[in-house]
Chain A
């Protein structure tokens, strides 16, 4: 009874129509793009996908002559470095906000929540000038710092509730064992808070892997470009030369890593998503 809100099971079949329609649409899209990525442009235009058997030529060409491998590595570095950086900065702050009483706590909390509502468009101009002044532009580190900086408020907001739900006994026993607060935090609290740290990092992984705006402003040259930006410029070039098979292969290279992660952790993402959304 718990789950049935107002529909009975017996006349439920119309409810499946939109669901199945969505499924068919997704499968057609996904299936067609995969097959097209393994076909020649001629086969795409004559409606005979993989007519001469699947070929990986499009993928090989992308890695060989479009330096897709380098952009792939760029995105991997951006993603992992910023996921780690965000946790390193956000976790200690969230720990204090979630567990320690001190004067000004409400103010600090309100600060991070208010940062969630500040649009990236609004801060982008001074941020760019700031980075130019500090001579921080033009390297891989630029965008890593940007991603860490701009994601810290959400990280603090998300982790605060995780830390506050950990029982007090953990630190008390640590203190009795003569553990200092820093040691207790690293050795006892962080392992207990691991599920929260992992969920946050999954969010950050997807967010950073797919990020577009800051990448466009801070990393849009051939050595620092992200995979998504590289995809856009490759698609632009290929649609001029008419290499449509290559366009869809490039899409698959950007899509697959996030899709594989999603396959394994979709449940976690969805439950984390609703916690954040309903509380916010």
Chain B
């Protein structure tokens, strides 16, 4: 269809302006800021002091930041395995002949629609509570007093507790993606394999897994983006506990955090926060490129 140039411009302009002002300009500005020492969020550009890569080399020598990187890599690896195993298990079950697929799918996706604050409070104040909590009650009933006495939210356990609680709320989304991927595989393949006398396991390993390679790659990239930007749960579940701090949360505390945190003794510098944002983005780009290397696009058409 053809329309006059002025109509095209009129329809596109608001969205394009928003893209330029809200996405492109801030991205470039954050990149620029990461090379400067900037005393406050409202500093004019002439108050910026050029520092070269000083902000970045300070970060690498900052033990809090290194700790936060370690935390986020652990979340990426442990949370990734947890989420993927359960998401894939449910995705496979829901492509078999079980009854009530729509119900199960909605039920497993439900936690993804709940506010992270609500999920965190329910996990902290009910499931992990050491007086009346779900885990304590169940373990006591079973006579497992050693397990019942674990303080799930103390310094030693809060990191793993957070990963478990967070993963529970993310399984549904990845289950849907994997489920849709399995459903796209033509059933002829399975029918032909069945006629040839292939067992369930042969069909799974020779048909399902190889044909899901593209979907695995997409899932892995999506998970990497989610995990590297990990922020909300450090704030809602970790509640400033240094054991749950990720680079994203470190950046928030450095730039927007008010007062009481352990970082307040560091000199306030918005530029350092910007360089954390840049590092997160660069890390995502690198890992995505690696994933695309490891799982090259499937040449197989179906």
B302 to chain A, nearest CB (A): 14
B227 to chain A, nearest CB (A): 12
CB-CB under 8 A from B18, the residues of chain A are: 89, 148-149, 152
Question: Which residue from A26, A44, A239, A255 sits with its C-beta under 8 Å from B115?
Answer: A255
Question: Which residue from B7, B21, B236, B280 sits with its C-beta under 8 Å from A119?
Answer: B280
A60 lies within 8 A of chain B by Cβ = no
**Contact indicator per residue, chain A 203-223, by CB within 8 Å of chain B (1) or not (0):** 000100110110011000000
A26 to chain B, nearest CB (A): 6
Query: Nearest chain-B residue to A146 (Cβ)?
Result: B22
B109 adjacent to A212 (CB under 8 Å): no
Query: Nearest chain-B residue to A36 (Cβ)?
Result: B126
B15 adjacent to A125 (CB under 8 Å): no
Taken together as a complex, chains A and B put the C-alpha atoms of A18 and B89 apart, in Å, by 9
Taken together as a complex, chains A and B put the C-alpha atoms of A145 and B203 apart, in Å, by 51
Taken together as a complex, chains A and B put the C-alpha atoms of A277 and B29 apart, in Å, by 30
CB-CB under 8 A from A18, the residues of chain B are: 86, 89-90, 93
Question: Which residue from A153, A206, A239 sits with its C-beta under 8 Å from B113?
Answer: A206
B154 lies within 8 A of chain A by Cβ = no
**Number of contacts between A and B (CB, 8 Å)?**
280
Query: Nearest chain-A residue to B184 (Cβ)?
Result: A278
A274 adjacent to B113 (CB under 8 Å): no
Question: Provided the pairs A115-B19, A149-B22 are in contact, do residues A7 and B115 lie with their beta carbons within 8 angstroms?
Answer: no
B256 adjacent to A217 (CB under 8 Å): yes
A80 lies within 8 A of chain B by Cβ = no
A210 adjacent to B116 (CB under 8 Å): yes
Give the dominant DSSP class at A's interface. Answer: helix
Query: Nearest chain-B residue to A263 (Cβ)?
Result: B106
A112 adjacent to B15 (CB under 8 Å): yes
Question: Provided the pairs A6-B203, A8-B97, A100-B8 are in contact, do residues A1 and B236 lie with their beta carbons within 8 angstroms?
Answer: no
Question: Which residue from A213, A254, A280 sits with its C-beta under 8 Å from B232?
Answer: A213
Question: Which residue from A6, A121, A212, A248 sits with its C-beta under 8 Å from B251?
Answer: A121
A22 adjacent to B107 (CB under 8 Å): yes
B125 adjacent to A122 (CB under 8 Å): no
CB-CB under 8 A from B203, the residues of chain A are: 5-6
Question: Provided the pairs A125-B41, A133-B42 are in contact, do residues A16 and B98 lie with their beta carbons within 8 angstroms?
Answer: yes
A156 to chain B, nearest CB (A): 6
**Contact indicator per residue, chain B 31-66, by CB within 8 Å of chain A (1) or not (0):** 001000000011000000000000000000000000
Give A contacts to B, CB under 8 Å.
1-9, 12, 15-16, 18-19, 22-23, 26, 28-29, 32-33, 36, 44-45, 47, 89-90, 92-93, 95-97, 99-102, 108, 111-112, 115, 117-130, 132-133, 148-150, 152-153, 156, 168, 171, 181-182, 185, 206, 209-210, 212-213, 216-217, 228-229, 231-232, 235, 239, 244, 247-248, 250-251, 254-255, 258-259, 262, 266-267, 269-270, 273-274, 277-278, 280
Give B contacts to A, CB under 8 Å.
1-5, 7-8, 10-12, 14-16, 18-19, 21-27, 29-30, 33, 41-42, 86, 89-90, 92-93, 95-98, 102, 104-110, 113-118, 121-122, 125-127, 131-132, 134, 137, 173, 176-177, 179-182, 184-185, 187, 190-191, 200, 203-204, 207-208, 215, 218, 222, 225, 228-229, 231-232, 235-236, 248, 251-252, 255-256, 270, 273-274, 277-278, 280-281, 284
28 contacts between A and B (CB under 8 A): A3-B95, A7-B200, A22-B90, A29-B127, A29-B134, A36-B126, A47-B137, A89-B14, A90-B15, A93-B14, A96-B11, A96-B12, A102-B8, A112-B19, A119-B225, A122-B30, A122-B281, A123-B23, A125-B274, A181-B7, A216-B252, A231-B117, A232-B236, A258-B115, A266-B109, A274-B179, A278-B218, A280-B218
